[in-house]
Structure formats: structure tokens, C-alpha cells
Amino acid sequence: MAERWSEATVPGMFFNRVERFGDRAMLVGKENGRWASSSWNQVAQAVRETSLGLMALGLAPNGTVTVLSQNRKEWTCCDLAIMSARGVTVPIYASNIPKDCAYIVGHSESRFCIVENGHQLAKVLETWDGLPALEKVLLIEGEKPGRPGVMTLSEVREEGRRQDPAVFEERVRAIDPEDLYTISYTSGTTGPPKGVMLTHRSMRYINRAILNYVQFSTDDVTLCFLPLAHMMERFIHYSSMHAGVTIHFAESIEKVPENLLEVRPHAFFSVPRLFEKVYAAILSNVEAGPPRKKRIFGWARRVGERCADLEIAGKPVPPLLVLQRRAADRLVFKKIRARLGGRVRYIGSGGAPISPEIVKFFHAIGLPPLEAYGLTETSAPATVNARPTLKFGTVGKPMPGCEVKIAPDGEVLIRGDNLFSGYFKRPEDTGKAMDGGWFCSGDIGELDADGFLRITDRKKDLIITAAGKNIAPQNIENLVKTDRYLSQVVVIGDRRAYLTALLTLNLPEVRRWAQENGVAAACDEALAADPKVLALVQKSIDAKNRELTRFEQIKKFRILPADFSQETGELTPTMKVKRNVVNKKYAGVIEAMYT
């Protein structure tokens, strides 16, 4: 049957799925403590009414609308409504502080800003006087204040119901695949965020390409918990929609473990930080158990990893090892998977490097991660490391229709239908980022003989020691972070004689260890300075150093009194470390390690 709407645009794809799935559940979220679903038809109605309401307020083709909200049904409805009006969605992380929100609203020249609640509204009200283009703020939930220009989303939908539906259909059909569907602002690890312009063509390419690696059923459910302002979650969101999957919204990042057990998803995707925490929690649970439990876990892990090594190498698994893996699965692995809901077939990692040790562990327990590499400028994924062709320690091969090559200086260059159209209002930066049709990623990497890409570091993060040695700090940091007592690791050493590191503690684990070992500390800061804790961490650093070449070893370290956070400025909303902020903030601590 011929599709009624164009599959080349995101709204066209969505409305084709509406006609196919109708009253089936599409979006599910917690309301008053219970999971409540909205069907494809109900979401489509909300999209039409919101889109027509926005058009009545003056949203013109190519007009920008900012969305400042946590993940929820209305986020998706508003995004689709803006796109259906041929507008451009500009997402803002809900955790951003007022001045960062104001920068994005102002720079994107948004006339409309959709906010989740009174908390987010306050951020905009605080800075509105400095935003001359901003005309209206639309409130998803809560009582609106008396300030002129603030409307509720319900009022927008009511206005939409008074409009001619034919206007909506005409606007959707006018969308061109080369139209922008979003301007996604980067996290800004080194300066003000840049607005990455992405087209419907790039998103629809990604939606189709990712299905080469995951085979979704229309009976599958996913759990959405990364911010939808993050391109990784955004492409997963619309790829799930493309496949007709039911999408559940987690209540919060803190409630993900609880929601996993309630929703029992078939797939979920995350940044490495979640997998690091899950891995550390599993090891902690084993360590706290009796000796017999430790022995069984150790044996099961060795069996699982041997099987994974053979399967990835394309070699047969001996019958005895097959039997051992079945026993290991029954005794250990099945119980671990049950803590993730018990039905998971796909887990995905992206947005930052993940330790090969952690990847191999999840393979061993029967949950091989789909590891993707890409940037906002590549609409998220450019390469994918997934069965049946994968290699530990790499980020896989380029997706179909995407090309990767290595520049003479080692930089990874990318070309394909997934590339951005440029940086909004920053043509000079766009020119610097492109080289003859190839996007200059800023990452250093290498392609092996089989075409697998290995990322070694960010170009600007590469350490060159006083002795002229080139060192990739991320590889060392990922190795050290596998210790369950550590949270963040920042390796220092550019133009220095040796490497040092700033460390933060995984406080729940260290507090538990301290209690078991009779270490009393008045506060977490005192715990970080306790000689026994220092000795514990030194033992771990010594063990990790034995896995590194001499010039890569950490000679000195300092434990910082508190973990990094977005609120204190060291982390981006996507949990990436702002090295320049850390280096400046702790300059005195760093210098003390070299004097």
C-alpha cells in the first residue's frame, strides 16, 4: 500500500505510522504514580492542534522554537508539532542554568519558548528582558503567572482547534527533506555552544541505517531516559518511532533502576556513565558476598568472556564450553539481566568512550552493547560496533552510506548523508570544520586492516609530554575508572615531565568500604583525605599502572574533596568533563604535583 505522506521527512514518517498503528500505545509515562499510555491517534491529535496553534501565533516556515523540559510525552508532541509547521526545534537541557538557557534562546532567535513547569519558566523570566526576539513562553503544566506573553500549552491547543485543518496538511506536505528540523547546541566543553543545523534528510538516513543493527518488533518497548536534547536519544527516539516501537519515559535518571524493572524494556541506550555505574554496582555486590559467591561469579565471568572472544573471532565454541556457559547463565548472568528488566535484547552506548573491559563484561553476560561513535554534527552515529561484525576496543565500521578516513595528522574525517548543514550564524566555524566535503571530527583515530575504527583521543586533548611522547589521556582515564571506588579521572601532563591525575571518589562505595574497615570520617571531604583511603586508591593506581607503558603511568595523584557536577561547572549536561574548567579550577592542586 502506498504511503499517504512523504517518508523523506520526520512528520511524514510519523503520520504514516499513525495510519498504520492507530489506537496502539505509542508513548507511555508516569501520571499520578501510574503508567499511562497515549495512542498514535491521540499523539497525532495533540500534534495537529499544537502545530495549528503555533501557526496561529505566528510560527512561520524555518522559525525556531526552543523547548526547555525534561523528557515527557509533551516534549515529543511539541517537537513533532514544530516540525509539522515546517519550523525548527531548538532543544535545551532541563539542567541548564538561566544564563545558558538565555544564550540558546537568544542566539537561535526564537520567538517562542516552550517550558515544562514553573521551575523552568523562572529561568526564562529571569532573562527575558535581554531576549528581544522572544515573544511568548508556553507552559506545559502548572499555573501561569500574570506576566503578559505567557500562555499554557492547553491554550495553544485550544487555539489550534479553531483553525482550518487543511492549513496543517498543506504545511506538512510542503516540508522539504533539506529543511532544518532542529538546531542542536553542542555541550560546549571548550567555549560557548555551537548550534548544529540538521535536516530531515540526515535524520531519516539515520532512522533507516540504524535498523541494519537492531531488529525491532512492533511489540517491543524501549525506555527513554537520556535527555531528548542529546542527539543520541533524539535519533533513538525517532528510529524507535520509525519501527513502531512503544516508547516509555523514565521518571528521572535516579529512578531508572526502578523503571527498568517496571517497564521491562527490550532495548535502552545510554552514555557510558550508566554502564560504568552498573558495572561498579555488580562488582560491589559480589565483593560484599560470601567467598563461594565470589568464586562462582569469577568462574562464570571467565567462561562468558572466553565464549565472547571465540564468537567475535568467528571461531566455534567447544561443546564443553557451551555447557559451562549455560550453567554460568543460570547461576549468574540471568540474575544480572533480571535487574535490567529481564527482556533486554539491545543495549547501546554512545556519546563518549566506554572502557573495553566494561564492553567485554556485558558481552559475557549475554548483553552485547551496540557501541556507536559520532557527534552532533553527524546526527549522532557514524560508525557502529555490533554483532555479527565487531571488535573489542574499536567503535566498529562506518554505517552504510557513511565514509570514514584518517587525515595525515591522525584526525578522523567523516562524509555521508548524516552530516550537518553547518553551524547556525557561524559560517567561519563551519568552514573550519569542513575539508572538501569531509567533516573534521576533532577526534584522533586509526582504521585497521578490516576497516574498524579505533578512537584514541580528542585532538585538542592529546597530551604531548616534555619528552615528546604523544599520549591519549582518555584511554588511561577509562582504564582507571573501572575501579569501583573511583568516579572521575582527569589525567594531566601536557608539556610536563610525567603524568599526574585528579581523582574523585565513588562515595557510596567508599563509604561502604570505610564502614567495613573501621575508617571513621566526619564528612566526605575528610574521607577523601583519610590515609587509609589514599592507600586504597594508591593500590588501585599501582595495579592499573602495570597495564600501561612507562611513559603512560600515573606518577602522582590527588583526590579532590567532591565529585564533579554540572552545577559546579566541571561537567556538561551530557556528563563530559570540561578539562579547561578542571585545569583552571584546580591549577594550584596540579602545580603542587609538579613542585
- Pair 247, 237: CB distance under 8 Å: yes
Question: Is 221 within 8 Å of 266 (Cβ atoms)?
Answer: yes
Which pLDDT value is given to residue 266? Answer: 96
Question: pTM (2 decimals)?
Answer: 0.85
Q: How far is CA 509 from CA 126, 280, 479, in A?
A: 39, 9, 18
Report the alpha-carbon distance of residue 406 to residue 412 in Å, rounded: 5
Q: What is the CATH number of the domain that holds 487?
A: 3.30.300.30
Residue 156's domain comprises: 10-175+213-270
Residue 569 domain-assigned (yes or no): yes
Residue of higher predicted confidence among 44 and 146? 44
Distance CA 300, CA 55 (A): 59
Q: What share of the chain is helix, strand, coil (3-state, %, to 5)?
A: 40, 25, 35
Other CB atoms within a 10 A radius of the CB of residue 19 amount to: 14
Mean pLDDT value across residues 577-594:
92
Predicted confidence at residue 575, as pLDDT, reads 79
Number of structural domains (the chain) is 2
Reading the block at residue 538, the C-alpha cell is 594508591
The answer to whether 68 and 140 have CB atoms below 8 angstroms apart is no
Assign 298 a pLDDT band (cuts: 50, 70, 90): very high
Q: Please report whether residue 309 resides in a domain.
A: no
Angle, vertex CA 478, rays to CA 476 and CA 483, nearest 5: 105
pLDDT greater than 60 at residue 310: yes
Asked, for residue 506, whether it belongs to a domain, the answer is: yes
The pLDDT assigned to 523 comes to: 87
Question: Does the pLDDT value for residue 423 go beyond 70?
Answer: yes
Tell me the β-bridge partners of 455.
Answer: 445
* Distance of alpha carbon 385 from alpha carbon 451, whole angstroms: 11
**What local confidence, expressed as pLDDT, does residue 369 receive?**
87
Cβ atoms within 10 Å of 41's Cβ, excluding its own = 15
Give yes or no for a contact between 183 and 424, defined as CB atoms under 8 angstroms apart.
yes
In a domain? residue 518: yes
Least confident range from 16-20, 34-38, 131-135, 470-474: namely 470-474
Chain-wide mean pLDDT for the chain?
Answer: 93
Q: Is the residue at 354 inside a domain? A: no
CB atoms within 10 A of CB 542: 11
- Mind listing the pLDDT tens digit for each residue in 89-105? 999 999 888 999 999 99
Indicate the DSSP class of residue 389.
B
C-alpha triplet 76, 81, 84: angle, nearest 5°: 125
Question: Nearest-CA neighbor of 534 among 486, 499, 481, 570?
Answer: 486
Enumerate residues 6+ apart whose C-beta is below 8 A from 380.
206, 231, 232, 234, 235, 350, 372, 374, 418
Q: What is the pLDDT of residue 69?
A: 97
Residue whose C-alpha is closest to residue 101's, from 137, 73, 72, 75: 137
Is residue 39 situated within a structural domain?
Answer: yes
**Does some domain include residue 194?**
no
**Which contiguous run of DSSP H or E holds residue 352?**
none
State the pairing for strand pair 136-139/150-152: parallel
The CATH number that applies at residue 148 is 3.40.50.12780
**What would the mean pLDDT of 541-564 be, rounded to a whole number?**
93
SS3 assignment, position 347: strand
Single out the residue in 226, 244, 270 at which a domain terminates: 270
On the question of pLDDT at 338 being above 80, the answer is: yes
Q: Count of residues for the chain?
A: 595
Structure confidence by residue, pLDDT tens digits, 130-166: 999 999 999 999 998 888 999 999 999 999 999 999 9
pLDDT tens for residues 178-221?
A: 999 999 998 755 567 899 999 999 999 999 999 889 989 999 99
Where among 254, 270, 286 does a domain terminate? Answer: 270
Query: How far is residue 400's CA from residue 415's CA, in Å, rounded to a whole number?
Result: 11
Backbone angles phi, psi at 68, to 5 degrees: -120, 95
Compute how many other C-beta atoms are within 10 angstroms of the C-beta atom of residue 295: 10
What secondary structure letter does DSSP report for 571?
Answer: B
Contact criterion met (CB below 8 Å) for 17 and 5: no
Q: Are 415 and 437 in contact (CB under 8 A)?
A: yes
Q: What is the pLDDT of residues 216-254, one digit of tens each?
A: 999 999 999 999 999 999 999 999 999 999 999 999 988
Tens digits of residue pLDDT in 260-278: 999 999 999 998 888 988 9
User: What local confidence, expressed as pLDDT, does residue 453 receive?
Assistant: 96
| Per-residue pLDDT band at 7 (split at 50, 70, 90) | very high
pLDDT, position 190 = 57
Question: pLDDT band at 11, cuts 50/70/90?
Answer: very high
What's the longest Cα–Cα distance across the chain?
A: 74
Mean pLDDT across 111-136 = 97
Query: What gap in Å lies between CA 441 and CA 446, rounded to an integer?
Result: 13
Sign of CA dihedral 151, 156, 157, 162: positive
The tens digit of pLDDT for each residue in 463-493 reads: 888 777 778 888 899 899 989 999 999 999 9
Residue 350 has a pLDDT of 87
Last-in-domain residue among 270, 294, 311: 270
The b/e string for 231-265 (b: 16+ C-beta within 10 A; e otherwise) is bbbbbbbbbbbbbbbbbbbbbebeebeebbeebbb
Cα(532)–Cα(36) distance, rounded to whole angstroms?
Answer: 50
Q: Is residue 218 part of a domain?
A: yes
Q: Give the pLDDT score at 12.
A: 97
